[in-house]
Chain A
Amino acid sequence: MSVKKRSEMAVRYEFKSYRDITPMHVSTGNMLYNKTGSWRFIKPVYEDKTPACQNACPAGNDIEGWLKLLGKREFEKAYWHLKREEPFPAILGRVCFRFCEAACNRAGLDSSIGIRELERFMGDQAVSDTSYPDVLPDNGKRLAVIGSGPAGMSAAYFARYLGFAVTIFDKEDLPGGILRLGIPAYRLPREVVAAEFDGLVRMGVEMKLHTEIGRDISLEDIASTFDYVFLATGAHRSLSLDMAESSGCCRIMSGLSLLQRVARGESPELGQRVVVIGGGNTAVDAARTAIRLGSQVTVLYRRSESEMPAHPEDVREACEEGVVFRFLAAPEHICLLPDATIEKLVCCEMTPGPPDATGRCTPVRKEGMTFDVPADTLVTAIGEAPALDYLQPFMPDTAGRFIETQTDLSVACQIPGKAKVFAGGDTGQTPRTVVHAVASGKRAAIAMDCDRKGLDTADIFRQIQVGDGNAVSFSRYMNWAPVNPVPRNDQSVVDRQKIVYDYFIRAPGIRKEIQSGELRKTGFAPYHPSLTPDEALTEAARCMHCGRCTECDNCLIFCPDVSILDQTRESFGYAIDYDYCKGCGICFTECPRNAISMIEE
């Protein structure tokens, strides 16, 4: 840093006698000798902090970073910056539940940035023949990923970056797991999933499809040929209703099996009236799938609407398509006809009871308040659990439960062989969303690399922690340069209290018109239009760049002590002349985005 010392330009006088004083009093010296920096007890420093969106993202996506590059129209750079932390923008740009947008500080001014739409835009920009930059050379270790869902894909991607030789095993004919078999095509077109897999294959990831663990290959075989194993077999076992009548009735199916059958190209016979039981995303997806197959659909949920685990936007869109929701209602028993088809469902009204351990209230039956719901098909979507039969010989206590992991996602199990076992995605106890699965894949890949190098994983995770600890940063593990070349303080999160909203202009976000529910429900075509490049640039320009300097000059303008030195012409940002900075803190309070911190000297 070439800061010219202004204190060296001080002109100072010492009067030895009255003769030195000029007859006319003219000042010819300056006060530069007076280093007012000595008054200071706290000093301002420029720091890159973690914006609220990145902090909220389970995968620690550096949203501000790629929005800044996108704003500069550097599409290619922005795309690769995005892929540093979140490898599948075309997928998550469609199905993510937008934890970032809920946290976006812009919502304190007008409305949050349409981050998911922008991410989708970035994902769709992907050029198919690009080679992956900065992939490390082979490190000689082999990783077997069991399951090609989002967690497995993510682990394969990051591990490949770290130089592992990766093989993905999946029992299905096509890869994708829940992305292909659980998420309906209207939300995630199949070719998008296929394109992301093409990318993985181009990176050098080997695919072994149609290979089921325990049937085609044993876990012991894998454990003896590979150095690491990542279990990402998801949660594909549906929980069933505790009702005696349900056995032997062909018109009762689980929500997941309905979604899987439709995804495989079947069109199951559902009849005129379909009743879906449950309030999660599977229930809503199943209901919307059933309505697309031409049935009338009622969803029964035993709690109230606000307690539904399903995403509110999906619920709203389901309503638009004609799905009827009945809250505070639970099935009592099923009345079957002699030919084992359903006649009707006897339900009971519920009332919110005392809260349970998770804080949600336990619904209680309203005695005598029963009512009938006519139904031809009953779809149960009351939850899914991991199917862990293949692991049971080595880990007996996993039966019907999830896989217990350490913080580094390693699993303590006794599989004969050399491999270290890790697990992630829906097999664990994390929330069951695609982005959480992607995050677990990233964690596991970094943990494996730490294990290979003999590093302390917990310590490394602390060093690369994003914000207050939801996620870890892959680019910091790789020591990739950030967008702003300034000191980082990634553990400091910039929330709404730290933003000076007075400096931002209100500008409504772009909300695209989507097809009407009537039109949507006629097929499985995706209906969310993508942003045009112009719209994407307009939306990206709304980003407030919380916690990251944009060289807006506010500090330069407001410093009362002329102690901010501009260096934007030679390099990035500003320098502070600590010879004179009195530490008043005006630059800190007037920084619109909290890119300055005051620290004790």
Chain B
Amino acid sequence: MSGLTLENLSMRFDLPSGDHVQALQDVSLEIKTGELVSVLGPSGCGKTTLLNIIAGFLAPTSGKVSLNGKPVTGPAQERGMVFQKGALFEWMNVRENVSFGPRMNRVPTAESAPRVDRLLDVVGLGAFKEKAIYELSGGMQQRVALARCLANDPDVILMDEPLGALDALTREKMQGLVLKLWKETGKTIILITHSVEEALLLGERLIVMAPRPGRIHKQYHLPFADMGVNADLREVKHHPDYTRTREEILNMIWDMEEEIMGRSEAST
């Protein structure tokens, strides 16, 4: 059985006040190898919790996660992660950051160095290999994070709002890069975002989550990621299907947010 399987995942946090938060309830999902899935939802819908469970940083209260038939019990290199920011090691230069995974796994330098060099060229940092992290811009730092994750050759790449802290222009460029890397490497990618546009453009499959309790609300299979690989992302945005789907999802999320507001107002 190949791919990532989530079976009836539930996550419940008990609060010190005696209350509890149902962050996830009965989430089941099948993700095929090589799929690019984007996860979207209003704040508090448990999308980051979901990603942390898949990464192995959190154990679910019930349900299980398995990758290629093997159950997930903790973090491991087969599930690489790209964070929003702050995950790079400032005491290492760009090349040392990217080669961190291979070095920790005792891959001989002779074997890993060419791959690291090639990855740095692919993400457009060929001229910055010896630079310190704090000398790079935010966009360049995220390129390092992508390359570092890929250097370990993981089966699944988990992205937690990887472009969330970037400015709009850089973000657009980086979206193209993510698509390009997906196409070139054929990795399974799960991308969490709070931008509807990004979810539409990058997701082969789009999962909309609803809050309280966190659950899967609706799934879409989208053609835009495949279109974006071959064409300009800007052109994809003018596609009538794109505009229609975007409006539909935006309305859905607005309704959810209003419902939360209404519920919290009713309870106070």
Q: Do A and B bind each other?
A: no
* B interface list, Cβ under 8 A from A: none
* A interface list, Cβ under 8 A from B: none
